[in-house]
Amino acid sequence: MSAPAVTASPRTHEDKLNRLAEVAVRVGLGLQAGQELLMTASLDALPLARRITEQAYRAGASLVTTLFSDDEATLMRYHFAPDESFDRAANWLYDGMAAAFKSGAARLAIAGGNPALLANEDPAKVSRANRAVSQAYRPALELITRHSINWTIVASATPAWAASVFPNDAPDAALAKLWDAIFETTRIDGDDPVAAWKAHDAGLHKRAERLNEKRYAALQYRGPGTDFRLGLADDHLWLGGGTTAGNGLYCIPNMPTEEVFTTPHKDRADGTVTATKPLSHQGTMIEGIQVRFENGRIVEARASRGQEVLQKLIDTDEGARHLGEVALVPHSSPIAASGMIFLNTLFDENAASHIALGQSYCSCLRDGDKLTPEQLAAKGANDSLIHVDWMIGSGNLDIDGITATDVAEPLMRQGEWV
């Protein structure tokens, strides 16, 4: 039993929204006075986008520009546009984003779209549209994945997302529950969110340092449906929490973040891996993924739902069949402990150990930002238009670190750090 609190009245939703915006701008983005900010958001995330705009100007932003998207408009394209529409992307817009980053703008994305928006649309059209955007976005995305600029992603609850996560609740109740979950897992609820984030960030750095001292050559995974050995890239670096971007500004790219992650060797994955959570990818759902690797390449891929989407995804290019990221997350992370499946990668990837198909982060290699594409490939870094995380961790997963002399050391048991 606990005594009733005699403190001030509980914080209102507006207070929490403001705190989330402040933490996103000051801790996540590390926005510098005088810096421009380029934000992307869905119209459904307008209240948070406005709070972030206010906080960015209070932090000294010289100009905040937000690109809004609209789910209804996206669907209209699938329903009414001519076929050739699906090979097009707004190249001028993505070129403009790259130009903004090159001239010093910071990047903030608000996540929270409808996880099933495109679930009933033609997978071939979805895949063509994604491919066109990936190609157009590539120059801008490279500045992000290379950490040339400070960037972060935060989430806003939206009615459609809340309805997917809490299908049995009334719309208002579902939205309130999703906001609560976001505030809690994004560490906004405590008395001093900024201090809480600094402590959490330091913990992730310490974990990454320990793994870097070990210099494992590979990881061995064992769990239900999973028997998998994954080689790590030569000169790989484990990262976690915040990072100093090429422009010298310190940012924490994902809020929440619970992972330590590095670059696997693109040609050194062997065995079978089974997903432990459904994957919501660009408005489509893929469930029950099971994949077999040989010499780093997917040679067999199955899904109990969304098989065609999965197939199209790994057919994007050769790099889409190889891995670009490996991340470790304890099963007791606050997001896993919530027991929720968020149907959103920002949250679900921080609830479980995961691997990602496609593009690797060169920041996860020693001096990676100074290497040419050929040098990166020689070390085992993967190259692709896609980067898709999928969750393989659970309370039943054991992971060993394999040393350079082929000795196995227990790293995680039953999903927890040893």
Choices 97-105, 214-222, 281-289, 318-326; region in contact with Zn ion by CB under 5 A: 318-326
Packing angle between helix 91-102 and helix 123-145, nearest 10 degrees? 10
Nearer to Zn ion, 44 or 259 (CB): 259
Q: What is the phi-psi region of residue 3: left when phi exceeds 0, alpha when psi lies from -120 to 50, beta otherwise?
A: beta
Rounded-to-integer distance, Cα 315 and Cα 58, Å: 46
Least gap, CB of 330 to Zn ion (angstroms): 14
Least gap, CB of 395 to Zn ion (angstroms): 19
Least gap, CB of 274 to Zn ion (angstroms): 18
Please confirm whether the linkage preceding 256 is cis (ω < 30° from 0): yes
Q: Does 356 help bind Zn ion (rule: CB under 5 A)?
A: yes
Nearer to Zn ion, 239 or 301 (CB): 239
Three-state DSSP at 262 gives: strand
Can you spell out the DSSP letters for 181-225? HHHHHTT-SSS-HHHHHHHHHHHHHHHHHHHHHHT-SEEEEEETT
Least gap, CB of 53 to Zn ion (angstroms): 27
181: which 2 tokens?
């979950």
Residues 261-300 that bind Zn ion (CB under 5 A): 261
Nearer to Zn ion, 245 or 356 (CB): 356
Nearer to Zn ion, 22 or 349 (CB): 349
Nearer to Zn ion, 27 or 323 (CB): 323
Report residue 337 CA to chain centroid gap: 19
How many binding residues for Zn ion (CB under 5 A)?
A: 7
Least gap, CB of 359 to Zn ion (angstroms): 9
Nearer to Zn ion, 56 or 230 (CB): 230
Dihedral in degrees, nearest 10, Cα atoms 391, 392, 396, 398? -130
Contact predicate 335/347, CB 8 Å: yes
State which of residues 44, 258, 325, 348 lies at the interface with Zn ion (CB under 5 A): 325
Choices 131-139, 222-230, 265-273, 324-332; region in contact with Zn ion by CB under 5 A: 324-332
| Residue keyed to tokens 């010289």 | 62
Q: Does 400 help bind Zn ion (rule: CB under 5 A)?
A: no
Strands 36-42 and 106-111: parallel
Residues 188-247 that bind Zn ion (CB under 5 A): none
Q: Does 258 help bind Zn ion (rule: CB under 5 A)?
A: no
| Residue keyed to tokens 């790219």 | 253
Nearer to Zn ion, 49 or 143 (CB): 143
Least gap, CB of 188 to Zn ion (angstroms): 21
Packing angle between helix 307-314 and helix 123-145, nearest 10 degrees? 50
Q: Does 389 help bind Zn ion (rule: CB under 5 A)?
A: yes
Report residue 8 CA to chain centroid gap: 36
Rounded-to-integer distance, Cα 34 and Cα 31, Å: 9
| Residues binding Zn ion (CB under 5 A) | 259, 261, 325, 327, 349, 356, 389
